[in-house]
Amino acid sequence: MNSSAAALHLRHGGTSVVIDTTPEFPAIVYWGESLGQASTAEVESLARAARNQRVSGYLDRGVTLSLLPQASTGWFGTPGLEGSRAGRSFAPAVVTSGIDANETSATIRGTDAAAGLAVTVTLDLDAAGILRTTVALTNTASDDYELAALRATLPVPVSAREVMDTTGRHLRERHPQRYPFTIGRHERDSRRGRPGADAPLLVLAGTPGFGFESGLVHGIHLAWSGNFQLAAERTGNGLALLQAGELLLPGEVRLAPGESYRTPVVIGAWGEGLNALSASLHDSVRSRPQHPRSPRPVTLNTWEAMYFDLDTERLRTLADAAAAVGVERFVLDDGWFLGRRDDTAGLGDWYVDPAVFPEGLGPIIRHVTGLGMEFGLWVEPEMINPDSELARAHPDWILQPEGRLPIEGRGQHVLDLSHPDAYAYLSERLHALLDENDIAYLKWDHNRDLVDPGSTVTGAAAVHANVEALYRLLDGLKEAHPGLEIESCASGGARVDLGIADRTDRFWTSDCIDPIERLGIQKYTSLLVPYEMLGAHISGPESHSTGRTSRLALRGATALFGHLGIEWNVTTASPDDLAQLTRWVEFHKAHRELLHSGHAVYADLPDDSVDLRGVVAGERDRALYVFTQVGSSNAYPGDAITLPGLDDDTVYEVSLSDVTERDGFNGQSPLPWLDAPLRMSGRALRRAGLRPPVLFPESAVVLLVTAVG
């Protein structure tokens, strides 16, 4: 409905958003905990109370942080819109032309007749209390408009005095870093053509010292798989914001008369502590109609088991061993296609190599499915090796600036999916593979950043066009092959975002499966992505990426939280290891429904040598926790641990799970509560806690918690 109210109140899922509609372009003046059934007068008073006065030394009006910040309104911070017509129309003055709103959403339209621009901002609150925002721009003039930036802007409260995001690298993605939220701008960009291993999934602003269990915190995520810009900014006017948009390369988006551009969706979340913020995000992701709902099959991937040394008989033997320990999906990794004996050749030639599989993939697929497992296949469709038939035939299909090829990465280049012929070739090859073979799953890799990503068709930068083409390709495969599942793997975790998540069913969290390294990687990835979409594998005894040797009990406990898999040549495992591995697989299956539907929680413990994480059922009637002794502690025995996420007034029974191996214990006497489960209220477990077993460093135990009253 059309709205002429001075203030709007959106309310859903425990969240309120109040919008002041009286400035030239509307402004959010409140975003956070629900205000309940606030009256119109109360909402309008809240909006008036938030308006700034004019002060000395500034312009002759108070400063407003609108949904489209513009210099024309006195805003000297980062604008929401940047662009020009060959230098003209550089200073937009968009004013409101109409508003449609209901209880949960608002569509705000604005125009600048002189500049020939029309803007639409859409706000939507979902049932989880997540705020989704997009900004669209239309060129209404008679000549082209070159867009430099279009950003969604959300305010954060005055209490937000600390910023947190994550950084990382290949094999060590998503580790946290914090900054004082002082006056100025903290900006995180990606110019890699994909989010990248160092990408922050979220930029968060909250009360100083906010943690998983406490502190008001707001955060944003951009649902986009290409270049991006995420920022936190505070001005001297007492205003603070979070801002996000696609990072556009020069000339990448040029709007012809009548053409439009829409930002990727900006996801906004808040909570009292990161556990609460994450729970809202997970509830929202799980509400999507395409979210995977069948039990997540335990997966064995052949990479660290066989690398490029493939043959049908060895694969059959590995499949037999996998089925025996309870694997439900068997994935053939790299090395199956034409000329692919190592990672320097073959990318682009998506035909089964008769030198490795003389009868095609049919025999191994039939063997795998005959054992009751699904068959999956590794592909890297966006990449091309110079040493390939495709590159020799079509060098013009490679992303490149005029006159030269970019620097190689991993001995490969990137195909231009926006090139119609390249797109058609890839689409034909992938559909043919799926039509000709019983393939239930594609592990879709993307193993290098984009450098100088120019199109030979247009001569312009083409990251935006390639992401859109990738989305079309994935959507087409899913539509033509119902039930097909796809994993987003990009050198491990370099393409983790909710844009690609709408088209895939699983993320390969990191190429590093070292259990100690994985603790941090999985923790901060799971802020955004629920466990059922995060691949977490049990590796062999020695980590491929770090050389660390780990107990199977630690490897199993670390992989428990996630979409469980195995990355290990289990044909070489001892009988004892196979028996223990089978117990871990069975334990995961027994608790899979809880692990993949409950809320992930992490404890804020003062001792950084330990880690406690868990999953609590939505009804809070049961939970599962893993306690890990990461390193040696100053306390001996260690401090008490507290269990977050439980209901204060419910009595729980706490016991050590049978899957826990006792060889990690380091105590000199039995744990006092080991043989008789504890009975404590959720309040007592959260505040007083319990003494965990004394463990050797790099050991873990699993705790089961069940309501009894």
**Rounded average pLDDT per 10-residue block, the chain, 709 residues:** 84 98 98 97 97 90 94 96 97 98 98 98 98 98 98 97 98 98 98 97 98 98 98 95 98 98 98 98 98 98 97 97 98 98 97 97 98 98 98 98 94 98 98 98 97 96 98 98 98 97 98 98 98 98 96 96 98 97 98 98 96 98 98 91 98 93 76 87 97 93 94
Q: What is the dihedral of CA 135, 141, 142, 144, to 10 degrees?
A: -40
Q: What CATH code is carried by the domain that includes residue 336?
A: 3.20.20.70
* CB count in 10 Å sphere of residue 603: 22
The domain containing residue 126 runs over which residues?
A: 66-286
Identify whether 511 is a catalytic site residue: yes
Which CATH number belongs to the domain containing residue 251 in this structure? 2.70.98.60
Strands (E), 355-469: 374-379, 383-384, 413-414, 441-444
Residues 310 and 452 in one domain: no
pLDDT at 403: 84
How many Å apart are CA 149 and CA 80, to the nearest integer? 7
Q: Which of 20, 445, 449, 514 is catalytic?
A: 445
**Orientation angle between helical segments 552-560 and 575-595, nearest 10 degrees:** 20
Instruction: Report whether 31 contacts 17 (CB < 8 A).
Output: yes
| Residue 669 pLDDT | 79
Tell me: do 522 and 608 sit in the same domain. no
Residues 620 and 590 in one domain: no
DSSP letter at 72?
Answer: G
What pLDDT score was predicted for residue 80?
Answer: 98
Instruction: Answer yes or no: do 118 and 232 share one domain.
Output: yes
At 248 the pLDDT is 98
Q: Are the beta carbons of 538 and 567 closer than 8 angstroms?
A: yes
- What whole-number distance in Å separates Cα of residue 533 and Cα of residue 282? 11
d(Cα 575, Cα 139) in Å, to the nearest integer?
68
Within this chain, do residues 481 and 342 fall inside the same structural domain, yes or no? yes
DSSP single-letter state for residue 397? G
Residue 674: count of CB within 10 angstroms of its CB: 13
Domain count of the chain? 4
Q: Are residues 556 and 651 in the same domain?
A: no
Whether 144 and 177 map to the same domain: the answer is yes
Whether the full predicted model's pTM is greater than 0.95, yes or no, is yes
From the list 188, 169, 202, 164, the residue with the least C-alpha distance to 493 is 169
Q: What was the pLDDT predicted at 2?
A: 59
Residue 17 lies inside a defined structural domain of this protein: no
Domain-terminating residue out of 597, 616, 647: 597
pLDDT of residue 660: 82
Which of 271, 286, 301 represents a domain boundary (last residue)?
286
Last residue of a domain, one of 508, 543, 560: 508
pLDDT value of residue 4:
80
Structure tokens at 584: 């871990």
Tell the residue number behind the tokens 């035939």, with chain if given: 393
How many CB atoms neighbour CB 23 within 10 A?
A: 18
Q: Which of the following is catalytic: 198, 416, 511, 611?
A: 511
618 & 701 share domain: yes
Beta partners for 641? 690
